[in-house]
């Protein structure tokens, strides 16, 4: 798993290497300085040589300056390396998510995708930034000190050969077991956050039903779980400190004991014993540092897994090897189309859909809640792929076109209108980034958006908040229609896009759309009045085509259409 993450660090290899060398350099100085100090005592003081002492002192100062330079260099390159890694990973993940089809993204919730792209990447990045230094330093220190101890006194080094593995095994045990515990804890944290989030969104419902106490006890329950799991995880992970102390103290006591024996026997000098002690402590310290890094990694494994899940998700909708690059007409055919969102689902959402739609015609789709109107039109520009059968545009299967060409030629105004933060003009340019001022005005006029845009003090440069919250529903819908018109599409799909627009405006838009001779228009609506003049109306019922025909035909022959028509005739909608 780790190896896959290393590949994102590739572009910053140079920085990683420099940072690596800096740490090594720093560590070397750390080992040199005590030697210089020993020289001061052993030669300078012993030989009463004050010039020598001052010389060594200056050497130490130079070492200190060099260490400072290396340290500063390290912080620069390590920052670039760690952040660069994060940048590449984030970018790669974003590109991947952007390639997702909706059947892909349906596997993740929106909020979880966002977390995976933001905080999970940050966690990994921090692990690298904080873990790199000890991870380089510790093994180096470990090897150096090991070498020196064995050289100093191989017999005494035996003590440490017994203690180090015990410490190693203990630390390994902690790191290994704490990983799954942290994962459980993370799952609990997600749960807690979900409940808080839900409560925030639904606070009115909760208050209206007086369910405060109910929610409190629900929360207390999962909070208790979180507490239990996190206490367990932390209890184990903090044990590395006392374990380290036990081992360190054991070593000191043993070394003092055996060392003194050796001194008594004349096998060792006092100075050697002190030196030995300090090296052994360095070895244990290095092990401790490594275990700390591994604990950190154990905590970020959950994030790694969550990111890998995104990376491993294979985009289910891709271009075929030699895609067609031209769409000449807006003829649409559905041939025995079956569709379900989830392969495992028992029932199809759409069943045996057969349709032929002439280029340039206007088609209405009508049907009850959950009759799969939206699902049907989403198959045309491959937001989802059919489960069975085929959808054709201009007599070719939609799968044979390049996705870009297909979606450039099919404009869809969605039920849930999304506008982005930015000016009105910027939003409109989504339809065609090269559109001229005139074209923009034309599109807005067709969609009846010009009148309200021009009333704003800043006109087309009016800034929209995220989601266009500073516009009314009707205004948003009209802007979205204008945006779609700017694409000059072969096929235009309006999914319940005029529901908040008053009838007079709707009629105007309808007439403007009818003037687009070369564009096939598919209109989903709730109101019969919106569709009455369509050349064909498709009645969907429970994912099947119940009837197809003109308004007059259907009114005569189709029971559902009659139902809808009369239910609305009585109301305001006529």
Binders in 473-532 for another protein, by CB under 8 A? 473-474, 483, 487, 500-505, 526
Least distance from C-beta 240 to another protein, angstroms?
A: 9
Radius of gyration from C-alpha coordinates of the chain: 36
Q: According to CB under 8 A, which residues from 234 to 293 bind another protein?
A: 234-235, 238-239, 241-242, 245-246, 249-250, 252-253, 256-257, 260, 263-264, 270, 273-274, 277, 292
Nearest-approach distance from CB 503 to another protein, in angstroms:
4
Cα gap 179→211, rounded to integer Å: 37
Question: Do residues 182 and 299 lie in contact, with contact meaning Cβ atoms separated by under 8 Å?
Answer: yes
Q: Is 463 in the site for another protein (CB under 8 A)?
A: no
CB 122 within 8 Å of CB 86: yes
User: Does 94 help bind another protein (rule: CB under 8 A)?
Assistant: yes
Q: Does 397 bind another protein (CB under 8 A)?
A: no
Q: Give the one residue of 183, 184, 211, 445 binding another protein; rule: CB under 8 A.
A: 211
Q: Quote the least distance from Cβ 172 to another protein, whole Å.
A: 18
Query: Coil, strand, or helix at residue 313?
Result: coil
CB 153 within 8 A of CB 271: no
Could you tell me the smallest distance in angstroms from the CB atom of residue 521 to another protein?
Answer: 16
If binding is defined by CB under 8 A, does position 210 make contact with another protein? yes
Phi first, then psi: give them for residue 363, nearest 5 degrees.
-120, 135
- CB closer to another protein, 313 vs 335: 313
Please, which of residues 144-183 interact with another protein by CB under 8 A?
Answer: none
Decide if residue 33 touches another protein (CB under 8 A): yes
Restricted to residues 340-379, the positions that interact with another protein (CB under 8 A) are 345-347, 367-370
Distance, first Cα to last Cα, the chain: 63
Binding range to another protein, per CB under 8 A, among 115-123, 150-158, 159-167, 546-554: 115-123
Query: In what helix (H) or strand (E) does residue 6 lie, and over which residues does it extend?
Result: helix 2-6
Task: Name the one range near another protein by CB under 8 A: 45-53, 139-147, 173-181, 318-326.
Answer: 45-53
Q: State how far the alpha carbon of 542 is from the alpha carbons of 16, 280, 339, 536, 547, in Å.
A: 59, 76, 12, 19, 12
Q: Is 324 a residue that touches another protein (CB under 8 A)?
A: no
Q: Which is nearer to another protein, 474 or 536 (CB)?
A: 474
- Sole binder of another protein in the list 10, 11, 91, 336 (CB under 8 A): 91
Of 301 and 412, CB closest to another protein: 412
Q: Which residues of 405-437 are buried (b: 16+ CB within 10 A; e: fewer)?
A: ebbbbbbbbbeebebeeeebbbbbbbbbeebee
What minimum distance in Å lies between the beta carbon of 234 and another protein?
A: 4
**Which residue stretch of 51-59, 355-363, 530-538, 547-555 sits at the interface with another protein (rule: CB under 8 A)?**
51-59
Using the rule CB under 8 A, which residue among 65, 143, 162, 169 binds another protein?
65
Q: Which residues contact 156 (CB under 8 A, 6 or more apart)?
A: 149, 255, 258, 259, 262, 268, 276
Spatial distance between the Cα atoms of 56 and 407, rounded to a whole number of angstroms:
75
Q: In whole angstroms, how close is the CB of 64 to another protein at the nearest point?
A: 3
Q: Measured from the CB of residue 256, what is the shortest distance to another protein in angstroms?
A: 5
Taking CB under 8 A as the criterion, the residue among 35, 114, 169, 314 binding another protein is 114
For position 67 contacting another protein by CB under 8 A, the verdict is yes
Single residue of 9, 97, 178, 537 touching another protein by CB under 8 A? 97
- With residue 13 as reference, give the H or E element that holds it: helix 13-39
Interatomic CA distance for residues 546 and 540, integer angstroms:
5
Does residue 14 touch another protein according to CB under 8 A? no
533 near another protein, judged by CB under 8 A: no
CB-based contact 440:414 (threshold 8 Å) = no
Residue 111 has, within 13 A of its CA and on its CB side, a CA count of 5
Indicate whether 197 belongs to the interface with another protein (CB under 8 A): yes
Q: Is 441 in the site for another protein (CB under 8 A)?
A: no
Cβ-proximal residues to 402 (8 Å cutoff; 6+ apart), any chain: 319, 323, 324, 325
Residue bearing tokens 């005739």:
569
CB of 124 to another protein, least distance (A): 13
Is residue 9 a contact point for another protein (CB under 8 A)? no
DSSP 3-state assignment of 546?
strand
- Cβ(279)–Cβ(145) below 8 Å: yes
Nearer to another protein by Cβ, of 335 and 505: the residue is 505
How many chain residues bind another protein (CB under 8 A)? 160
Strands 396-397 and 388-393 turn out to be: antiparallel
**Cβ proximity to another protein, 369 vs 517, nearer residue:** 369
Of 37 and 324, nearer to another protein (C-beta) is 37
Residue 470 contacts residue 464 (beta carbons within 8 Å): yes
| 132 vs 126: CA distance, rounded Å | 10
Instruction: Tell the smallest beta-carbon distance from residue 341 to another protein (Å).
Output: 9
* By CB under 8 A, residue 411 contacts another protein: yes
């Amino acid at each position: 798993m780790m190896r896959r993450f290393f590949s994102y660090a590739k572009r910053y290899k140079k920085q990683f290497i420099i940072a690596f060398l800096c740490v090594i350099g720093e560590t070397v100085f750390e080992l040199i300085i005590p030697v210089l100090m020993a020289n001061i005592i052993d030669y300078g003081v012993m030989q009463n040589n004050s010039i020598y002492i001052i010389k060594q002192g200056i050497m130490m100062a130079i070492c200190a300056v060099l260490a400072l330079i290396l340290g500063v260099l390290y912080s620069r390159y390590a920052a670039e390396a760690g952040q660069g890694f994060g940048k590449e990973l984030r970018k790669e993940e974003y590109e991947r998510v952007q390639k997702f089809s909706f059947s892909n993204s349906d596997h993740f919730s929106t909020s979880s995708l966002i977390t995976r792209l933001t905080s999970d990447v940050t966690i990994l990045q921090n692990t690298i930034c904080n873990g790199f230094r000890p991870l380089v330093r510790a093994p180096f220190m470990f090897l150096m000190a090991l070498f020196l101890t064995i050289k100093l006194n191989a017999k005494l080094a035996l003590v440490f050969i017994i203690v180090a593995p015990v410490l190693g095994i203990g630390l390994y045990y902690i790191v290994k077991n704490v990983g799954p515990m942290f994962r459980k804890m993370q799952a609990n944290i997600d749960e807690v956050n979900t409940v808080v989030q839900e409560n925030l969104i639904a606070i009115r419902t909760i208050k209206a039903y007086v369910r405060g106490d109910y929610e409190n006890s629900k929360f207390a329950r999962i909070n208790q779980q979180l507490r239990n799991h996190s206490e367990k995880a932390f209890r184990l992970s903090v044990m590395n400190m006392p374990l380290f102390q036990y081992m360190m103290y054991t070593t000191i006591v043993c070394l003092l004991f055996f060392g003194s024996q050796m001194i008594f026997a004349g096998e060792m000098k006092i100075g050697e014993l002190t030196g030995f002690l300090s090296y052994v402590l360095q070895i244990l310290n290095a092990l401790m540092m490594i275990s700390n890094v591994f604990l950190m990694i154990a905590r970020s494994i959950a994030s790694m897994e969550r990111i890998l899940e995104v990376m491993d998700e294979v985009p289910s909708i891709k271009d075929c090897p030699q895609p067609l690059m031209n769409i000449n007409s807006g003829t649409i055919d559905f041939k025995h189309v079956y569709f379900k969102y989830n392969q495992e689902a028992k029932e199809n959402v759409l069943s045996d859909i057969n349709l032929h739609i002439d280029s340039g015609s206007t088609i209405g789709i009508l049907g009850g809640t959950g009759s799969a109107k939206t699902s049907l039109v989403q198959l045309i520009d491959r937001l989802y792929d059919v489960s069975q059968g085929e959808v054709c545009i201009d007599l070719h299967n939609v799968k044979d076109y390049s996705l870009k060409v297909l979606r450039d030629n099919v404009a869809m105004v969605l039920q849930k209108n999304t506008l982005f933060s930015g000016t009105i003009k910027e939003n409109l340019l989504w339809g065609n980034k090269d559109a001229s001022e005139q074209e923009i005005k034309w599109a807005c006029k067709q969609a009846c958006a010009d009148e309200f845009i021009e009333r704003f003090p800043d006109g087309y440069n009016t800034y929209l908040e995220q989601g266009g919250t500073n516009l009314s529903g009707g205004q948003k819908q009209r802007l979205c229609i204008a945006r779609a018109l700017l694409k000059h599409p072969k096929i235009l799909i309006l999914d319940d896009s005029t529901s908040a627009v008053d009838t007079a405006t709707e009629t105007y838009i309808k007439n403007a759309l009818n003037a687009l001779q070369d564009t096939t228009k598919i209109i989903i609506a709730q109101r019969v009045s919106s569709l009455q003049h369509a050349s064909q109306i498709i009645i969907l019922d429970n994912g099947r085509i119940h009837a197809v025909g003109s308004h007059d035909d259907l009114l005569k022959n189709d029971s559902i259409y009659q139902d809808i028509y009369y239910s609305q005739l009585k109301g305001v909608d006529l």
